[in-house]
Structure 1
Amino acid sequence: MGKPNDEAEMGIIPRLCNHLFQRIHENADPNLKFSVEQYSFLTECMPLRKQRLYTQVSYMEIYCERVRDLLNPSTGGNLRVREHPLLGPYVDDLTKLAVCSYQDICDLMDEGNKAR
C-alpha cells in the first residue's frame, strides 16, 4: 500500500483516492452542501444529479478463491461474486461505507489491514 503521507511511496489505490479528493476539493462549489446518505443498490443505476456526490469504499481480500470483507470480518470468508445485468460484477453483501475525505479512506484501509 505504501506510506499514506509519502506520495512517492504510495500504491496505486491510495494515489487514486488522494487525487480524487484533491479534484473534488478543487472543483468544489461553495454553495454546495455535502451529506452522507444511505441508498439502495438500485439507486446506483440512476444517474446522480450534478449537485450530489456519493463516495463509497469497500475493502476485500481474495485468497484461495475465497472473498473476505475486510471492513466487516465477522461476515466470514465466503462472500459470493455475482453479476448485475447493468452494473456488471459485484460482491454480494460486501460492506460499503460512505467517505468524505482521503483521510477517511486511509483510516478504513488501516482498519481493513488489521483484519488481514
Structure 2
Amino acid sequence: MVSLCRVGTAQVPARCESVQVWLVDRPNRNARPDIVLREAADALAALRAEDKIAFIHCFEARSRTAAVAALYSARHRGVPLPQAWEDVRATLPGCAPQPFLRDAVERITG
C-alpha cells in the first residue's frame, strides 16, 4: 500500500507492506513536489515489479492519488500523459487533481 496521506498504525493491516509518502494536497506546502511525486510513482512501480498487488490512496482519492496514478502510467507504463489522465478519470470519476500537482506531473513527464 502506498499512502499519500497520514495513516495510523491501526489503519494498516499487519499483512500489508506500507510505503508512506508525505505529500500535502495544498500549493506551496511541499518543499519539492516533483521529487515526492516521482518517488511515489517509482514506489508503486517497484511494488508491481515484485509481483505485489499495490494500492495507492489518499484522503479522498481525488487529487494526490490521481496525480501519482497518471504519473505512474506515463512514466512506467509508457502511456501518453493525456491518455493517462483520461484513464484515471475513467477509474476515479470524481478526481480533481490540484493544479500544482498537474503542473508537476507535466514537468516530470515533459
TM superposition score category, shorter chain reference: under 0.3
The structure in which a higher percent of residues are helix is: 2
TM-score under structure 2 length normalisation? 0.27
Which protein shows a greater Rg? 1
Greater relative contact order structure (CA < 8 Å, 6+ sep): 2
Q: TM-score, with normalisation over the residues of structure 1?
A: 0.26
